[in-house]
Structure 1
Amino acid sequence: MGSGSSALARLGLPGSRLPAQPRPAWLGVAALGLAALALGAAAWHRRRSRRPRRLQQVGTVSKLWIYPIKSCKGVSVSSAECTAMGLRCGRLRDRFWLVINEEGDMVTARQEPRMVLMSLTCDGDSLTLGAAYTKDLILPIQAPTTNALHMCRVHGLEVQGRDCGDAAAGWITSFLKTKPYRLVSFEPHMQPRRSQDMRAKFQPKDQVAYSDVSPFLVVSEASLADLNSRLEKKVTESNFRANIVISGCGAYAEDSWSQVLIGDVELKRVMACSRCILTTVDPDTGVMDRKEPLDTLTSYRLCDPSEQKLYGSKPLFGQYFVLENPGTIKVGDPVYLLGQ
């Protein structure tokens, strides 16, 4: 072998015929280190690529509301867990209780305006049904499994409910003084209603218990202020029964938020909320006006003609959102618009 081949062999380059020499141990350690660094860099790149392209604060959470019984008084909370089926705070969940008539049909403040004066609160292992000038009723946090199961109807769709007992039924019937009613609760093993069966814009995975159609309703303080600037008698967010109220943004800014981040929670907007006569029930008196704020909203908040098939002639106020990533949100949390 010539001197040229010997030089190649000593350098370890192709073309050498010298036997391979053992590599020092440190070279193997270095190679492993470089491989680990490469894997780490790839993982970092993947994480970074999943991050939103922009993260712009658009507001702040100012209030959180849970409405345990559909159409009844809301409970203001300082923090809440966002689940796929709505807000949860302790044992209270949003619209997991429902008033029904003897036929199993839902009863709301559309038929019984004074329902907005009834409240359901939780203290330890018990629930309290209450209303002004009425004696409270204490109920177990979970209805006994020996209680009847009812097949109820909410906006035409069937859904089960566990009867909360004769005492609860008697209390509600006595308070409303119209017809016999019963209170039922939704339990984890029951089949939820599919939002898509009510509105095609939702996905098959979107489900609710007794809510109208969506697990989250978002309204901004600025939208409410704009509406009130047009009204003689002011209204509050309780007229609109939103779960998440946002401050620090422009009027109707929520209409354009496709996806927001609050803490670790990601919410995706699906569609606007079309408004009905329930908004005209005074949350403090239980009296239905039948005109305002609905008439005023109708004068300037109708949908684009291209969306009339979806919304009809009802005015729009607030936006329906669904859960993309669960977590806990708190009053005071910044609201970020995820990159478009």
Structure 2
Amino acid sequence: MSGAQGAAGVALRAARPLWLWGVAAAVALGAVLGAWRWAGGRRAAKRRGRLQRVGTVLRLTVYPVKSCRGVAVRQAEVTPMGLRSGELRDRFWLVIKEDGHMVTARQEPRLVLITVGSENGHLTLEAPEMKQVCVPVKLPRKNPVRNCRVFGLDIQGRDCGDEVAQWITTFLNSEPYRLVYFEPSMLPRKSKDIINLFRTTDEVAYPDCSPVLIISEASLEDLNTKLEKKVKIENFRPNIFVTDCSAFEEDTWEEILIGDVELKGTVCCARCILTTVNPDTGVLDRKEPLETLKSYRLCDPSERHLYKSSPLFGRYFAVDRTGTIRVGDPVYKMVQ
């Protein structure tokens, strides 16, 4: 054997164990993935075995800026803190006073006339008789972080800059307002600090209390049979609008499955004067549909400590399993 052949043999023998290790690793990985798929299949089969179809997703809406117009989407990612579509996350932007207190359509009803979108890494805002303004989603670090108050709880937000602040102030013809953005590294609010029935793991940015709100088409139709002037679903701002179920059936859903997303029912949504803001005109009525809802949608006396005198319309859900949901997806109730 020549010196060159001997060297080649030594190199081949040295390489052989590495090659064998690669094969072994591939086999092991395949076994792990197979076991994972098998276990996942068993879980899915078990879940399907106790599912009852209760509806169909009719509409999905993300509300990037609290109290501004929602963005209808065909599909959305459901995260632990609510719906996400691309760079738009549900209620991750908030209008505040200079002292940090939140501003919503309760105080400034014309907020509902601001249309929100996204374009080339920017949040876009449009409103009647106003030029479009753009805000980068990823804000410069030099922008100050502001301390805010949302329903009495402290939370932070990074200031979106003077241009959009002046734009909002001009459109609302109001005292100086600012726009802030909740960055994922910031500390969220605990839903349990707002309503005790939530779990310690349930968290939100700027929503009232919950990452997901669901209302059915039948509930809206039932309400409209009692109103002289019909209202739209935009008066109530749900994330998931469901059809193919009976009126207020959503109140009874404890655990539901949509796509690969699992949601847990928490509390019903106690309604306030925001529902009386006309979504097309930005005019605050202060009476309807709230007064009609109070005539037949008050809580049971045993729950008065929770809802007080507010009527109920829609149900809040927490996120047990994240994933993607689409318009047209069946809604299944998990039956024990």
Structure 1 partner of 2:97: 101
2:273 maps to a residue whose letter is I
Unaligned runs of 5+ in 1: 1-38
TM-score under structure 1 normalisation? Answer: 0.86
Structure 1 partner of 2:256: 260
Match of 2:140 among 136, 140, 144: 144
Structure 1 partner of 2:235: 239
Query: Which stretch of the first structure deviates more once superposed, 239-248 or 123-132?
Result: 123-132
2:50 maps to a residue whose letter is R
Distance 2:323 2:42 in 1: 22
Structure 2 partner of 1:182: 178
Aligned residue runs from structure 1 range 1-40, under 5 A: none
Give 1:118 shift. Answer: 1.0
Aligned residue runs from structure 1 range 121-270, under 5 A: 121-270=117-266
Cα separation, partners in 2 of 1:326 and 1:48, compared to 1, 3 Å: closer
Who wins on radius of gyration, i.e. which is larger?
Answer: 1
- Identity of counterpart residues, as a percentage? 59
Aligned residue runs from structure 1 range 264-279, under 5 A: 264-279=260-275
Structure 2 partner of 1:13: none
Give 1:119 shift. Answer: 2.2
SS in 1 for 2:123: strand
* Alignment: residue pair count: 301
Counterpart check, 1:280 vs 2:276: yes
SS in 2 for 1:222: helix
1:157 maps to a residue whose letter is L
SS in 2 for 1:51: helix
1:211 maps to a residue whose letter is P
Cα separation, partners in 2 of 1:333 and 1:298, compared to 1, 3 Å: same
Distance 1:283 1:297 in 2: 18
Whether the 8 Å CA contact 2:47–2:334 is kept in 1: the answer is: no
What are the superposed Cα offsets for residues 200-258 of structure 1, whole Å, 9 maximum, x if unpaired? 00000000000000000000000000000100111111100100000010000101111
Unaligned runs of 5+ in 2: 1-34
Structure 2 partner of 1:316: 312
Give 1:45 shift. Answer: 10
Structure 2 partner of 1:64: 60
SS in 2 for 1:104: coil
Distance 1:107 1:47 in 2: 44
Distance 2:173 2:47 in 1: 55
1:113 maps to a residue whose letter is P
Distance 2:107 2:302 in 1: 32
What are the superposed Cα offsets for residues 291-338 of structure 1, whole Å, 9 maximum, x if unpaired? 000000000000000000010000000000010111000000011111
Distance 1:290 1:136 in 2: 30
Whether the 8 Å CA contact 1:78–1:330 is kept in 2: the answer is: yes
2:128 maps to a residue whose letter is A
SS in 2 for 1:196: helix
Counterpart check, 1:51 vs 2:47: yes
Give 1:141 shift. Answer: 2.1
TM-score under structure 2 normalisation? Answer: 0.87
Whether the 8 Å CA contact 1:281–1:290 is kept in 2: the answer is: yes
Distance 1:47 1:101 in 2: 49
Q: CA RMSD in A?
A: 1.7
SS in 2 for 1:56: strand
Whether the 8 Å CA contact 1:80–1:330 is kept in 2: the answer is: yes
